[in-house]
């Protein structure tokens, strides 16, 4: 059989790989793509999308609680976990189909198999053993959950992968971790009615976020009934009748139904044939790339979580697009990673863009801080005890807004637009000049008059 030849072989049919493959094909390239699990990748199958659907499910519980103050009488509602899981599965199957059809419609040939690099210009499809010659190879295999140290009973723990398909709702769950995935699952399981314990090694959740946001979130999580256990780790897990017994590093024990590890994600570079062809990896195993996502082997590129730059879907998509335009469209451009807005779908939600107060001060800049913490209007009648928080970090010399941090309902929606303003280098005076939209929470962003420090 003659060896098949393509212009581009994409390994991984997730956010970055699909965008790159489609755009390259639209530029006229002959593209083949291997996906070992399900088209759409982490975001669609076991990340952003199912997570947000579960977050919505939890928020209905809040809405039901809040309704009485607005005059509604509702009889005790019932929640059925398996209905939620089944409906979520239907939706992600639909999205998976769309991903597949869009890639194929653009001319991409999809191969349902694991694939590995067999040479600088060769990819092996493991299902068939076929080797395909490729002018360029794109590594877009993403990342997978870290499992941490091999403590006794660690095989009894789940990760976010399994949390989306648990056969039974965990009435008592212990989550280890303090990153965004850990706090999001803590919030959604709590809202759905679970007893939640969040255990983490550090002293606060969400390392790298603005310290006041972290403190406010911890206060809100505690108020919601989540038990926060800082400065500790898990030392063993044991199966017991009706659940699991967990021992923590201080010797304390607790019994739960599920233990979930959300302690980070590892770039999926193992057993991919990279070392043999000389693709350089960093100390975490991520592929090292230049601004054009090119690896140390000129014919091989990498985008998305495998490169561990900013591990978010829109970033992977943008990197894939830039790669395809640059290599196949004769339109070279690079992704600006400097101002990426992000949301954490915790309860309450967080939206953040730009630098934290700590980072701005560490950079030695004079900074002005504007902030507010307030009870949202809806909470007045609902009686819900919750507070929203907003903070602007402003350059003390140029008046440019360097960071916006929001915690409260719709923070993720608000931060998208704040990012547009910041991309245009908006100053605090620009924010002030903008007439408020009333009554909203967002109006606080343009009515912050008094410097906090």
Tell me which residues are annotated as active site. Answer: 438
- Find tokens 């196949």 and name the residue: 328
- Cβ neighbours of residue 286 under 8 Å, at least 6 residues apart? 267, 269, 306, 307, 308
Choose the binding region for ligand FAD from 37-45, 102-110, 346-354, 371-379 (rule: CB under 6 A).
37-45
Among 22, 51, 122, 321, binds ligand FAD (CB under 6 A): 51
Burial of 116 (0-12, 13-18, 19+ CB in 10 A): middle
Q: What is the DSSP letter of 381?
A: H
Contact status: 17 vs ligand FAD (CB under 6 A): yes
Choose between 11 and 367: whose C-beta lies nearer to ligand FAD. Answer: 11
Choose between 22 and 371: whose C-beta lies nearer to ligand FAD. Answer: 22
Among 47, 153, 354, 403, binds ligand FAD (CB under 6 A): 47
Choose between 13 and 371: whose C-beta lies nearer to ligand FAD. Answer: 13
CB of 140 vs ligand FAD, minimal distance in Å: 5
Among 11, 29, 31, 226, binds ligand FAD (CB under 6 A): 11
Choose the binding region for ligand FAD from 35-43, 82-90, 146-154, 204-212 (rule: CB under 6 A).
35-43
- Cβ neighbours of residue 443 under 8 Å, at least 6 residues apart? 436, 437
Contact status: 79 vs ligand FAD (CB under 6 A): no
d(CA 47, CA 88): 12
Number of residues this chain uses to bind ligand FAD (CB under 6 A):
35
Q: For strand 195-200 and strand 227-230, is the pairing parallel, antiparallel, or unpaired? A: parallel
Burial of 359 (0-12, 13-18, 19+ CB in 10 A): middle
Among 121, 160, 295, 382, binds ligand FAD (CB under 6 A): 160
Among 92, 272, 335, 407, binds ligand FAD (CB under 6 A): 272
Contact status: 58 vs ligand FAD (CB under 6 A): no
Contact status: 31 vs ligand FAD (CB under 6 A): no
d(CA 201, CA 232): 5
Closest among 118, 117, 119 to 140, alpha carbons compared: 117
Among 6, 8, 13, 246, binds ligand FAD (CB under 6 A): 13
Choose between 323 and 370: whose C-beta lies nearer to ligand FAD. Answer: 323
Torsion of CA 195, 197, 198, 200, to 10 degrees: -170
Contact status: 15 vs ligand FAD (CB under 6 A): yes
Contact status: 268 vs ligand FAD (CB under 6 A): yes
Choose between 304 and 403: whose C-beta lies nearer to ligand FAD. Answer: 304
- Chain positions 94 to 133 lying near ligand FAD, rule: CB under 6 A, are 114-116
Three-class secondary structure of residue 131 per DSSP: strand
- Give CA angle at 91 (17, 43), nearest 5°: 30
Burial of 202 (0-12, 13-18, 19+ CB in 10 A): exposed
CB of 411 vs ligand FAD, minimal distance in Å: 13
Choose the binding region for ligand FAD from 101-109, 136-144, 200-208, 434-442 (rule: CB under 6 A).
136-144
Closest among 44, 47, 53, 54 to 18, alpha carbons compared: 44
Three-class secondary structure of residue 239 per DSSP: strand
- Give CA angle at 227 (222, 152), nearest 5°: 155
Contact status: 267 vs ligand FAD (CB under 6 A): no
- Chain positions 299 to 328 lying near ligand FAD, rule: CB under 6 A, are 304-306, 311-314, 316
CB of 52 vs ligand FAD, minimal distance in Å: 6
Binding positions for ligand FAD, rule: CB under 6 A: 11-17, 34-37, 41-43, 47-48, 51, 114-116, 140-142, 160, 181, 268, 272, 304-306, 311-314, 316
């Amino acid at each position: 059989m003659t060896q098949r030849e393509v212009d581009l072989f994409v390994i991984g049919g997730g956010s970055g790989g699909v965008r790159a493959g489609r755009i390259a094909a639209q530029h006229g390239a002959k593209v083949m793509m291997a996906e070992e699990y399900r088209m759409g990748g982490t975001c669609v199958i076991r990340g952003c999308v199912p997570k947000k659907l579960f977050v919505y499910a939890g928020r209905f519980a809040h809405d039901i609680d809040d309704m009485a103050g607005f005059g509604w009488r509702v009889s005790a509602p019932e929640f059925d976990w398996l209905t939620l899981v089944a409906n979520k599965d239907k939706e992600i199957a639909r999205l998976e189909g769309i991903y597949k059809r869009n890639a194929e419609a653009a001319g991409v040939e999809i191969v349902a198999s694991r694939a590995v690099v067999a040479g600088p210009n060769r990819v092996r499809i493991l299902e068939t053993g076929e080797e395909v010659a490729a002018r360029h190879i794109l590594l877009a295999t993403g990342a997978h959950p870290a499992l941490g140290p091999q403590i006794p009973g660690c095989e009894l723990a789940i990760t976010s992968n399994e949390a989306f398909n648990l056969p039974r709702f965990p009435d008592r769950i212990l989550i280890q971790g303090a990153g965004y995935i850990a706090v999001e699952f803590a919030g959604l399981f709590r809202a759905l009615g679970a007893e939640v314990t969040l255990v983490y090694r550090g002293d606060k959740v969400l390392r790298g976020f603005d310290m006041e946001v972290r403190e406010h979130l911890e206060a809100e999580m505690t108020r919601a009934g989540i038990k926060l256990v800082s400065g500790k780790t898990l030392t063993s897990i044991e199966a017991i009748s009706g659940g699991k017994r967990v021992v923590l590093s201080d010797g304390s024990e607790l019994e739960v139904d599920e233990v979930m590890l959300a302690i980070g994600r590892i770039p999926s570079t193992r057993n991919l044939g990279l070392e043999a062809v000389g693709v350089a990896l960093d100390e975490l195993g991520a592929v090292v790339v230049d601004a054009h996502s090119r690896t140390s082997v000129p014919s091989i590129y990498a985008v998305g979580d495998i490169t561990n730059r900013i591990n978010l879907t829109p970033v992977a998509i943008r990197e894939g697009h830039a790669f395809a335009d640059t290599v196949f469209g004769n339109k070279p451009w690079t992704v600006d990673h400097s101002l990426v807005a992000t949301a954490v779908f915790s309860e309450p939600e967080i939206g953040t863009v730009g630098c934290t107060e700590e980072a701005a001060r560490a950079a030695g800049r004079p900074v002005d801080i504007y902030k507010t913490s307030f009870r949202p209007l809806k909470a007045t009648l609902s009686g819900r005890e919750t507070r929203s928080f907003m903070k602007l970090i402003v350059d003390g010399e140029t008046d440019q807004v360097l960071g916006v941090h929001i915690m409260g309902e719709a923070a993720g929606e608000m931060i998208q637009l704040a990012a547009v303003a910041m991309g245009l280098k908006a100053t605090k005076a620009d924010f002030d000049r903008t007439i408020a939209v009333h009554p909203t929470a967002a109006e606080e962003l343009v009515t912050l008059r008094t410097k906090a420090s």
